[in-house]
Structure 1
Amino acid sequence: MEFEVVELSDSGKERRLGRLCSVDDGRYVIVALDHSLTMGPITSADNFDKLIRTVAEAGADAVIMHRGRAKRAIGQLGEMGLILHVSASTSAGVHGDAKTAVGCVDDALRLGADALSVHLNVGSDTEPTQLREIGELASACDRWQMPLLIMAYPRGPQVTDEHDPQRVAHAVSVAVDLGADLVKTNYAGSVAAMSEIVATSPIPVLVAGGAADGRSIEQIGDDAIRSGCAGLAMGRQIFESESPGEVVRSLVALAHPKRSQSVR
């Protein structure tokens, strides 16, 4: 008797990834709101709820949050996707670059999240531990068809320039090899350099915002899109702005130029 060999597809993962992108153009505008664990409160509790509603109405595709705030924000998300961040360290600690896992795929599934997010500092003193933990999380994500976003940055005692193209390319490569479905990383200083990095990656590359570097939010977004990046995943450039909604709308216009700018 012959048996038909049935290959399992990644349909669950594909459906979740589809919910992270509101337009079928392969681009993302993601608002990162995971900073409060590291830095402390970014605003009041009431304003945090308002911020969620504001970025949702402005057209953001997804938000990144830790478990506690995500549980309380579910009702504010509207059509936005939810990415659960499960890496942590605090600015009060001795080793701020020593990210450790504080959550798992089960948490994401229980919350109805569309993806899991982890932070990797390539070059940090605790890099081996971070690599092992992320490898375990990546395996679990594959088992449960949960997309994995890796925030991969060159960061540690030997790293003098976190935007050095070779180091950024290496960080992206590590994320790819660990099994990421999306990678968020630093801008490498120029459209040409970033284009070369994107060309090495078989998965979508998202540009982080980070601290202001003299460029406007429009310049950051335009440079990222022109370099071939799949979009933007920014936090401080948005929640520290006096008009977060306007910032998100400007990023959406760059990433999704064909999409209507009407309120969703």
Structure 2
Amino acid sequence: MNAGLQSRLERISTGGQYLIVPMDHGITLGAVKGLKDIESTIDAVTRGGADAVLTQKGIAPRVHPHKNGRGYIVHLNASTTIGPDSNDKRLTGTVEDAIRVGADAVSFHINVGSDHEPEQIEDLAGVISEAERYNVPVLAMAYARGPGVDEHDPESLGHAVRLAEELGADVVKTGYSGDADSFEHVVTSTRLPVVIAGGSRGTDRQTVEMVRGAVDAGAAGVSMGRSIFQHDDPEAITRAVAGVLHDDLSAVDALREAGLSVEA
């Protein structure tokens, strides 16, 4: 692997494992809880053990002073929940834009199975080609999502992560199938590091047990947004997730060490 690419991957991970907190939801959802004072949230999650945070490029000036030396990923497409189709993710920047604002890596969202899949494949391929010129890692957010598609089906998720590898991504994020046994198929469908999405908020125990299950199946980490940045204590829940991911703790032990309730 090229030294520049390797060094940048190391900036957004710990020992090949990834705890990423995406906070690009300001385009999608607006200035929701956890994102109005994004500076405090970034400070909290990076103190809690996040390896990297992720935003759109315009938020970069609010990121760098508060990320405590952790990695930074710039996301390159978006849509809104009030627009005509939230699955229709459109380009919002380039790899060069991301480099100019100090990113260590870029990310791109593709909905495999949606009506917009063909255009998104083309756009992701273009982003990867540009990133290769600069040795910048690409995190492909490859979801199984579209008409008649089960977002938690391991076969569909396996197809999505393999698509990301086929296009040349370096890390792939996808949905969780629900249990370690079924998610093993997803992880073994690619040689890329696979990280799971957090999805909608559940209880603290549900969140951390999901991470434990994914790790047991061979996942390389998590890219978890709302379950962390909308938590009443973002630092503590990040610390619990880091306990599972980086210290190999059980879900219960990770919650206890982070000072969170172990109740289901």
Give 2:9's aligned amino acid: L
CA distance in 2, matches of 1:132, 1:46: 33
Aligned to 1:4: none
**Would you say the 8 A contact 1:119–1:151 is kept in 2?**
yes
The counterpart of 1:194, out of the listed 183, 188, 202, is 183
**Would you say the 8 A contact 1:165–1:189 is kept in 2?**
no
- SS for the counterpart of 2:188 is helix
- SS for the counterpart of 1:200 is coil
Tell me whether 1:106 sits opposite 2:96 in the alignment.
yes
1:91-144 per-position Cα deviation (integer Å, ceiling 9, x unaligned): 111111011111111111112211100000011111111111111111001111
5 Å-filtered alignment, 1:112-151, equals 112-151=102-141
Tell me whether 1:15 sits opposite 2:7 in the alignment.
yes
Unaligned residue ranges in structure 2 (runs of 5+) = 250-256, 259-264
- SS for the counterpart of 2:148 is coil
Unaligned residue ranges in structure 1 (runs of 5+) = 1-8
The counterpart of 1:239, out of the listed 204, 214, 229, is 229
Identity, % of aligned pairs?
A: 39
CA distance in 2, matches of 1:44, 1:186: 22
CA distance in 2, matches of 1:72, 1:57: 16
CA distance in 2, matches of 1:210, 1:99: 18
The counterpart of 2:156, out of the listed 167, 170, 175, is 167
5 Å-filtered alignment, 1:1-264, equals 10-21=2-13, 23-24=14-15, 26-43=16-33, 47-159=37-149, 161-212=150-201, 216-257=206-247
CA distance in 2, matches of 1:95, 1:225: 33
- SS for the counterpart of 1:128 is helix
CA distance in 2, matches of 1:170, 1:124: 13
1:204-248 per-position Cα deviation (integer Å, ceiling 9, x unaligned): 000100113676122111111111100111001011211111100
CA distance in 2, matches of 1:27, 1:231: 5
Q: Which has the larger radius of gyration?
A: 1
Give 2:210's aligned amino acid: I
CA distance in 2, matches of 1:111, 1:122: 29
CA distance in 1, matches of 2:50, 2:188: 26
1:18-56 per-position Cα deviation (integer Å, ceiling 9, x unaligned): 1111x32x1111111111110111237762111111111
Structure 1 pair 185–75 and aligned structure 2 pair: CA distance change class (3 A): same
Aligned to 1:6: none
Q: CA deviation at 1:72?
A: 2.2
**Would you say the 8 A contact 2:42–2:66 is kept in 1?**
yes
Output the TM-score relative to the length of structure 2: 0.90
Give 2:227's aligned amino acid: Q
Q: CA RMSD in A?
A: 1.9
Structure 1 runs (4+) deviating above 4 angstroms are none
1:44-73 per-position Cα deviation (integer Å, ceiling 9, x unaligned): 776211111111111110011001112322
Structure 1 pair 138–191 and aligned structure 2 pair: CA distance change class (3 A): same
1:141-164 per-position Cα deviation (integer Å, ceiling 9, x unaligned): 1111000000010111131x2001
